[in-house]
Structure 1
Amino acid sequence: MSGDTPSRILLVAKETTLKGLLERLLVARGFSVVDGGTGVDTVSLLGGAGPIDLVICERTGPGLDEVALFEEIRRHPDHGRVPILALPPADPECTVRALEAGVSDCLAKPFHPAEFVARVERLARPTAA
């Protein structure tokens, strides 16, 4: 994004405490956060979401798993090239599945907030570095 327009981040998180923390971190860094709801909500939301600079996915709710969500985003005509940051559990198999589904980066939980912000900055504001 350019100028004074904040980068828009679509945040998908099942765990409400973590979702609130992530949203506060993002807003404090000047990002605009769009609540992506659960995976099923996210897919239907994409059509009318407007420009999105980054998708962050912690966990989806019932009905659509994270890998299926990543694949749906990659197939979306308007958002297929948007960077995706996956926040999988600390399990190498989950990380590999996410990367194979087309995510741009993974940050396994638990993670340090400063590392989270650094990765978000790199993905959502690639020219800011």
Structure 2
Amino acid sequence: MSGDSPSRILLVAKERTLRTLLERLLVGRGFDVVDGGSGVDAVALLGSAAPIDLVICERTGPGLDEVAMFEEIRRHPDHGRVPILALPPADPECTVRALEAGVSDCLAKPFHPTEFLARVERLARPDAA
């Protein structure tokens, strides 16, 4: 990220209501949000869009599950190091699978918006602290 340009976040959330809520929170904090669509769409966007500073993934929808998407991102030579914040259900097994697939952090649902934004800030703007 350079200068005053906002951090770009690729948001993947299957549920429209959650996606809208998260986007509002992020835009309100000054982030540029890119709709990641499904997991397949998100991986394609990483390769073709302007640089992404953080991927946030709740659910991917059809075509590529969350763990497969995380593994695909990590294997890619150009965007394999982009931070990923997973938003799994409150199930320790889901959190463990996401962490094993290489995500940077997990925040189980339900979560408080303040905690969500604190984690996003830490991952998307590591030099700001």
Distance in 1 (CA, whole Å) between partners of 2:46 and 2:104 is 18
**Counterpart residue identity of residue 7, structure 2:** S
Distance in 2 (CA, whole Å) between partners of 1:18 and 1:10 is 14
**Counterpart residue identity of residue 11, structure 2:** L
Aligned residues: 129
Distance in 2 (CA, whole Å) between partners of 1:43 and 1:124 is 18
**Counterpart residue identity of residue 58, structure 1:** E
Counterpart residue number, 1:97 = 97
**Counterpart residue identity of residue 127, structure 1:** D
Deviation at 1:75, TM superposition (A): 1.2
Deviation at 1:78, TM superposition (A): 1.6
TM-score under structure 1 normalisation? 0.97
* Structure 1 residue 43 corresponds to structure 2 residue 11: no
Counterpart residue number, 1:52 = 52
1:21-36 alignment to 2 at 5 Å? 21-36=21-36
Identity of aligned residues (%): 88
Could you say what secondary structure the match of 1:72 adopts? Answer: helix
**Counterpart residue identity of residue 79, structure 1:** H
* Structure 1 residue 107 corresponds to structure 2 residue 81: no
Counterpart residue number, 2:9 = 9
Deviations 1:50-89 (A, max 9, x none): 2000000000111111000000111122210000000000
Stretches of structure 1 lacking an aligned partner (at least 5 in a row) = none
Distance in 1 (CA, whole Å) between partners of 2:44 and 2:122 is 27
* Structure 1 residue 68 corresponds to structure 2 residue 68: yes
Could you say what secondary structure the match of 2:103 adopts? Answer: coil
Query: How much is the aligned-residue C-alpha RMSD, in angstroms?
Result: 0.7
Runs of 4 or more, structure 1, over 6 Å off, are none
